[in-house]
């Protein structure tokens, strides 16, 4: 079943649920949707922009969990619909236009595509833009011979994604060759070498989800016992600070906003997993892009290039 809640002429919430919403449930949803009013009809008129029906948004996942926590157990999906206007932008990768949304708004008619065997790996790589190099293509050819069948499109595509920016860790421990000379240390060995030769205030590095360095003496305001209710007290401890960097590229294309936030979320996750009693204080997010150079006129970016002789660093937002 589908229920619509109207916040304004422009913004609606669409709620998918498995049983009839009780009056108490509706009141909770009205509060949750900032005093949005339930729509009595089973559909709404007009053209609206919403997420593609085949992909539940991260926002929906969080929203459904919130409704479960406040006692509404029948909701399976919640999405936002925005009234389409003349100048509205629609991202075809993430959104679609719903004409007079009704009870079938999330009904998926699309059938699964047939499994496709890849006959020519080189041509398929170029056609789909998988960015596989010659060695990787040869590796896949050898796999195909070993299993005595052609590889499927999903297998080849999946292999290419394993080699995305966030997952190329195999390169760090690969053979490092400079000027046709094989080096005794891998790229990762060289990265670790800095902390080995200059330990300074490092407590731990490359042994956990985060690195730890010595911190100042701090005051903690917390309970002595954690397993039962107890009085709070102030205590001084020698702190150890965690340092963590999380890199992301692929999610910013698939889900530009929520996906990019996984960088900061990953930092918090790994800090909490570090040591025996680590807890996060702050999460940061840094976005770097190349200079746009949208015009040929003497813009501010050209001025920087002229003053410095070259552009030394990407923009940081």
Residue 170 lies in a domain: no
Residue 168 lies in a domain: no
**pLDDT exceeding 70 applies to what percent of the chain?**
79
Residue 111 lies in a domain: no
For tokens 């840094």, name the residue: 286
Whether residues 274 and 295 fall in one domain: no
Total of domains in the chain = 4
pLDDT digit string (tens) for 271-309? 777 877 677 677 666 666 555 555 555 555 556 555 555
Is the pLDDT reported for residue 110 higher than 90? no
∠ CA 288-245-60, rounded to 5°: 75
Whether residues 294 and 269 fall in one domain: no
Range of the domain at 126: 121-163
Highest mean pLDDT (candidates 43-52, 167-176, 198-207): 43-52
Q: Residue 315's pLDDT is what? A: 36
Q: Residue 248's pLDDT is what? A: 59
Residue 68 lies in a domain: yes
> Which distant-in-sequence residues (6+ apart) come within 8 Å of 171 by Cβ?
187
Residue 183 lies in a domain: no
pLDDT digit string (tens) for 251-273? 555 556 666 666 667 777 777 77
Residue 113 lies in a domain: no
Residue 204 lies in a domain: yes
Q: Residue 13's pLDDT is what? A: 97
- pTM value > 0.75: no
Whether residues 90 and 17 fall in one domain: yes
Residue 207 lies in a domain: yes
Whether residues 22 and 84 fall in one domain: yes
CB 75 within 8 A of CB 2: no
Query: Of 284, 249, 278, 280, which is closest to residue 264 (Cα–Cα)?
Result: 284
Q: Which of 158-167, 220-229, 245-254 has the lowest mean pLDDT?
A: 245-254
CA separation, residue 313 to residues 287, 299, 306, 309 (Å): 12, 17, 14, 12
Whether residues 224 and 253 fall in one domain: yes
Q: Residue 243's pLDDT is what? A: 77
Whether residues 307 and 243 fall in one domain: no
């Amino acid at each position: 079943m589908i229920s619509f809640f109207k916040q304004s002429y422009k913004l609606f919430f669409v709620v998918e649920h498995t049983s009839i919403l009780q009056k108490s449930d509706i009141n909770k949803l009205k509060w949750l949707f900032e005093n949005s009013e339930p729509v009595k009809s089973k559909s709404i008129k007009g053209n609206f922009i919403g997420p593609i029906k085949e992909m539940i948004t991260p926002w929906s996942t969080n929203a459904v969990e919130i409704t479960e926590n406040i006692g509404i157990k029948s909701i399976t999906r919640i999405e936002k619909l925005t009234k389409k206007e003349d100048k509205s932008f629609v991202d075809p990768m993430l959104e679609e236009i719903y004409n007079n949304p009704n009870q079938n708004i999330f009904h998926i008619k699309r059938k699964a595509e047939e499994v496709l065997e890849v006959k020519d790996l080189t041509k398929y790589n170029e056609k789909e833009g998988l960015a596989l190099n010659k060695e990787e293509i040869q590796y896949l050819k050898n796999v195909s011979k070993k299993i005595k069948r052609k590889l499927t499109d999903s297998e080849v595509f999946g292999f290419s994604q394993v080699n995305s920016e966030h997952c190329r860790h195999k390169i760090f421990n690969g053979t490092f060759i400079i000027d046709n000379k094989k080096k005794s240390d891998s790229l990762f060995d060289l990265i670790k070498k800095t902390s080995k030769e200059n330990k300074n205030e490092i407590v731990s590095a490359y042994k956990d989800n985060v690195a730890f360095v010595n911190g100042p003496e701090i005051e903690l305001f917390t309970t002595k016992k954690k397993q039962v209710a107890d009085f709070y007290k102030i205590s001084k401890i020698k702190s150890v600070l965690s340092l963590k960097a999380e890199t992301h590229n692929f999610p910013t294309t698939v889900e530009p906003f929520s996906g990019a936030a996984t960088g900061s979320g990953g930092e918090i996750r790994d800090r909490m997993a570090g040591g025996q009693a680590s807890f996060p204080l702050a999460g940061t997010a840094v976005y770097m892009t190349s200079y746009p150079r949208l015009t040929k006129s003497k813009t501010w970016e050209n001025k920087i290039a002229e003053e410095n002789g070259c552009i030394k660093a990407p923009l940081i937002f």
